[in-house]
Structure 1
């Protein structure tokens, strides 16, 4: 049995209260929505807070399917476009982009998503086929005790000599690694598609520490002193006592994102729309900001003063987040992965 912390218990109570404000119509109790979700702390929070709040608001039952974008995509492709196991999915846009192109998703019926109108332009994506439900902006994280000259721009990774040999990067298997390539292409080449310039620039960084998922361990040990970091992870490390900070680079940020999509042939489509609107509501967006330090995608959410240090990117700052052509990346996935393996040390 999961033992809830005081914070989770209070958050759950807040979610249940918030759900009453959303005013969803109740539906038959026997309706069940299968909700794909990430594992770990995300699964715990969905079980303790998000799922119960939606069940109370909708009268339906929620069954969680724990995995990741690769797993959810494999499940959908195994079942086929006509008989998907899910009615709704929230996953990284790099995965959503491929599934969308294969015909799994429908264009959103915005009459069923009133909260869509309040999303930042950044979150209204794919010509109406998706909405961003969660954003973790990525800036430059660094050790304040091991860096004399704090970074201000991505170009500092190349220009600041004290960073040499102590730079961390996500590898190409992670969506952040792909964004690192597109960012370098944009900064040092003509645009994000100029990957020749991007690879040339990344090669000039010299020896770097690459990881698929966790850069925090290397930053904590001092093996690296600077790396792309989402602001939420830096907030968690700071609360653990590590002397770290994260800055918004002059050239802009990139992001970990979660796209909400509706399956064209999902078994519980109406319930899926209710759940999608629930996720995009100010109440749920605030709950996620407090729990995971993600930046709300609903523009009506005002970050309180006591949370601004942990969630510094909101409002006007959202315009500083860069976006990418994931169709381009997916089409050239094998070629780019091979070049990365040969180029990045």
Structure 2
């Protein structure tokens, strides 16, 4: 783990706040929904990137199909909840208006619930078309997909807009590329709490929150931070597990969906949780009495990646690369930053004024962001889930 340089962050080079990852940008409704983008109403659509967005393959070939009048169908995985699907839905409408023989469907789900379905479909029939052709995936799922052989390797040199994506958002194995980043800190109920928490330790040490906590299911981040402040690290979280086994009764409810999370943080059920900055700000924009806090120890950085899936046909992959490249353009990456409330990966995009002054984006807090070895997370996730069940859920 390491901290992230402020200058890199402010130019879009650093990773901020999903889930899960598992759910981060992924902690959403447990049952996914599929919508045909042509019929969605995702709000105003930004000006068509057109030629300025660049094209990985060239619009003359992207979207071509072998049958006369037959449309090539592309399914894009998007996070469900808040405004996380706004950009992909708006993009799909715009793209289809410029590519008459491409049909785009948006499949909305949390990464936590959706990725197992993707993997199960692949395992059931490795020769079949993937459940989705490309999508938005958090850091933890991206690392898990590396182990499962889920992704296609990208040729960054062939993506014209990748030139503006900093090294921080480029994966060493090129299995995807970053579109933005969120961060995980604390979220509290402003109606119930007069003195905001300042430290991660408030989750397990502060008596005013005993029995008033809510946590996302399998939210190992709080175990990691309990270990970290007590001398442990990601490879040795025993101290964190001991702390949470002892303090599990402080947790009043475990949530598995963003609307449920927002509700318990609004109706008096819970006064404190650990949450993504972007998700917390979206809750607040919806009227929830909440504020996000960057703990004194630092928040946890969580990038979001765009990936294409192994098993795509050549034509599907060509279209997916064209879509991915356009999504990295300044126009669309800015929309992603604004609707998902994340740091944009494209270094030419400037954060809007209403984001720059928020706690999660202040330079002094960016300096303290904690980077995670997501490969290590993927390797240990199964064991951590079992331990979460045994040490925490069994003792609530």
Q: TM-score range by the shorter chain?
A: 0.7 to 0.9
Q: Does 1:181 align with 2:227?
A: no
Shift of 1:307: 4.4
**For the Cα contact (< 8 Å) 2:338–2:352, is it kept in 1?**
no
Say yes or no: does 1:273 pair with 2:314.
no
Find the residue that maps to 1:259 and give its secondary structure: strand
Taking a change above 3 Å as real, the CA distance of residues 113 and 322 of structure 1, as seen in their structure-2 partners, is: farther
| Match status 1:325 vs 2:368 | no
In the aligned structure 2, how far is the partner of 1:256 from the partner of 1:238?
A: 20
CA separation of 1:330/1:43 partners in 2, compared to 1, >3 Å: closer, same or farther?
closer
State the Cα deviation string for residues 185-209 of structure 1 (Å, max 9, x = none).
Answer: 3332431111211201223434203
Q: Gapped runs of 5+ residues in structure 2?
A: 1-37, 66-71
Q: Identify unmatched segments of 5+ residues in structure 1.
A: none
Q: 260, 265, 270: which one pairs with 2:306?
A: 260
Q: What is the match of residue 26 of structure 1?
A: 59
Partner of 2:386 in structure 1? 338
Is 1:147 matched up with 2:189? no
SS of residue matched to 1:210: strand
User: 2:134 & 2:327 partners in 1: Cα distance?
Assistant: 11
1:239 is displaced (CA, Å) by 2.8
- Structure 1 residues 63 and 334, CA gap change in structure 2 (3 angstroms): same
CA pair 120-97 structure 1, distance change in 2 beyond 3 A: same
Aligned to 1:211: 255
SS where residue 169 of structure 1 aligns? strand
Per-residue CA deviations over 1:122-181 (Å, capped at 9, x if unaligned) read 422343322222433222111223223212221232343322221221121xxxx13333
Distance 1:114 1:196 in 2: 45
Q: For residues 303 and 197 of structure 1, do their structure 2 counterparts lie closer, same or farther at Cα, with a shift above 3 Å needed? A: same
- Asked if residue 284 in structure 1 is aligned to residue 332 in structure 2, the reply is yes
Shift of 1:56: 4.3
CA drift of 1:109 comes to 0.6
Say yes or no: does 1:169 pair with 2:215.
Answer: yes
Deviation at 1:310, TM superposition (A): 6.8
**Aligned CA distance change for structure 1 residues 318 and 19 (closer, same or farther; 3 Å):** farther
Aligned to 1:142, the other structure's residue is in SS state strand
Q: Is the 8 A contact 2:133 2:309 kept in 1?
A: yes
- Matched residue SS, 1:188: coil
Q: TM-score, normalised by structure 1?
A: 0.82
Equivalent position of 1:196 in the other structure = 238
Aligned-residue Cα RMSD (Å) equals: 3.2
Comparing both chains, which one has the higher relative contact order based on Cα–Cα distances under 8 Å and sequence gaps of 6 or more?
2
1:299 aligns with 2:330: no
When residues 47 and 109 of structure 1 are mapped into structure 2, their CA distance, relative to the original with a 3 A threshold, is closer
Distance in structure 2 (CA, Å) of the matches to 1:23 and 1:330: 34
Match of 2:324, SS state, is: helix
1:104/1:284 CA distance change after superposition, 3 Å: same
Say if 1:320 and 1:15 are closer, same or farther in 2 by CA, change over 3 A.
Answer: farther
Change (3 A) 1:279 1:239: same
Indicate the residue corresponding to 2:15 in structure 1. none
**Which residue of the partner structure matches residue 250 of structure 1?**
296
Does structure 1 retain, via aligned residues, the 8 Å contact 2:82–2:282? no
| Counterpart pick for 1:50 among 87, 91, 113 | 91
Q: Which stretch shifts more, 288-297 or 312-321?
A: 312-321
Deviation at 1:85, TM superposition (A): 5.5
Q: Is the 8 A contact 1:122 1:318 kept in 2?
A: no
Q: CA separation in 2, counterparts of 1:148 and 1:286?
A: 35
Which 10-residue stretch deviates more, 251-260 or 106-115?
251-260
Change beyond 3 A, Cα 1:246–1:44: closer
Superposed displacement of residue 225, structure 1? 1.1
Shift of 1:287: 1.1
